[in-house]
């Protein structure tokens, strides 16, 4: 721009303002309806976006709250199930422990009964062995006495029935003589003298 044009601009400022105002009027006349239409559209679009954004925010908030409630409920449900399962397991362990204690007590009682029964059986067996030993000793003594008496009796009979030496010698002599045909019958007095 030249200095004269610059000077014209500075001098023409008040008139330029009027022309700018008239230019705005012309512009408003030419494009005003369209600009107002665009402006209304932009306002409606902005309102719609604001409303949709608000609705979306509310919807997200509702969904988030719903999800949060669902997670809380699931967490509480899982916690409750875990507590119930832990309680059940604790009761099961206590029941098993009690069963084991009862089994141990019953086992110890049965062992005690078996020990008593074994001791009683051993005492009875010892008593039977002692009784049989006494009976056998008594029977052996009785048999010994019987055998001794029988031997004594047989010995006595043998002593009473045995032949004397002289009688046997005479008998053998007589047999020898008969065999040699030298036999003579001795008299009754001959036997007495010997």
Quick one: pLDDT at residue 181?
A: 78
Which of 58, 36, 29 has its CA nearest to residue 44? 36
User: Looking at the domain assignment, is residue 8 inside a domain?
Assistant: no
Provide the domain count of the chain: 1
Of the pLDDT bands very low, low, confident and very high (cuts 50, 70, 90), residue 30 is confident
- Residue 104 within a domain: yes
Residue 119 located in a structural domain:
yes
**Is residue 82 situated within a structural domain?**
yes
Tell me if 27 is assigned to some domain: yes
Please state, in angstroms and as integers, the Cα–Cα distance from residue 24 to each residue in 19, 21, 43, 156, 174, following that order.
Answer: 8, 5, 22, 183, 203
At 22, list the tokens. 């008239």
pLDDT bucket at 1, cuts 50 / 70 / 90: very low
Q: Which domain covers residue 50, as residue numbers?
A: 16-188
pLDDT of residue 83: 92
Residue 154 has pLDDT above 50, yes or no: yes
CA distance 94 to 86: 12
Q: Has residue 181 been placed in a domain?
A: yes
DSSP characters for 170-181?
Answer: HHHHHHHHHHHT
Residue 36 in domain: yes
Lowest mean pLDDT segment, chosen from 18-22, 36-40, 125-129, 134-138? 18-22
Assigned domain for 147 exists = yes
**Is the per-residue pLDDT at 175 higher than 70?**
yes
Average pLDDT rounded to a whole number, residues 46-72:
89
Q: Judge contact between 190 and 170, C-beta under 8 A.
A: no
| Residue-wise pLDDT tens digits, 86-109 | 999 999 999 999 999 999 999 999
DSSP state of 59: H
């Amino acid at each position: 721009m030249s200095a004269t044009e610059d000077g014209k601009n500075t001098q023409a400022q008040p008139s330029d303002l009027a022309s700018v105002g008239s230019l705005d009027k012309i512009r408003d006349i030419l494009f005003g309806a369209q600009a107002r239409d665009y402006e209304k559209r932009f306002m409606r679009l902005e309102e719609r976006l604001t409303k949709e954004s608000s609705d979306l925010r509310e919807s997200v908030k509702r969904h988030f709250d719903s999800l949060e409630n669902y997670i809380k409920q699931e967490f509480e449900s899982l916690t409750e199930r875990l507590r119930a399962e832990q309680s059940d397991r604790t009761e099961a362990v206590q029941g098993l422990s009690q069963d084991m204690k009862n089994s141990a007590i019953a086992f110890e009682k049965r062992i005690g009964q078996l020990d008593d029964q074994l001791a009683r059986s051993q005492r009875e067996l010892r008593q039977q062995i002692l009784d049989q030993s006494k009976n056998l000793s008594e029977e052996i003594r009785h048999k010994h006495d019987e055998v001794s008496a029988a031997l004594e009796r047989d010995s006595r009979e043998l002593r009473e029935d045995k032949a004397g030496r002289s009688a046997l010698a005479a008998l053998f002599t007589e047999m020898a003589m008969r065999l040699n045909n030298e036999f003579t019958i001795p008299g009754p007095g001959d036997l007495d003298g010997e």
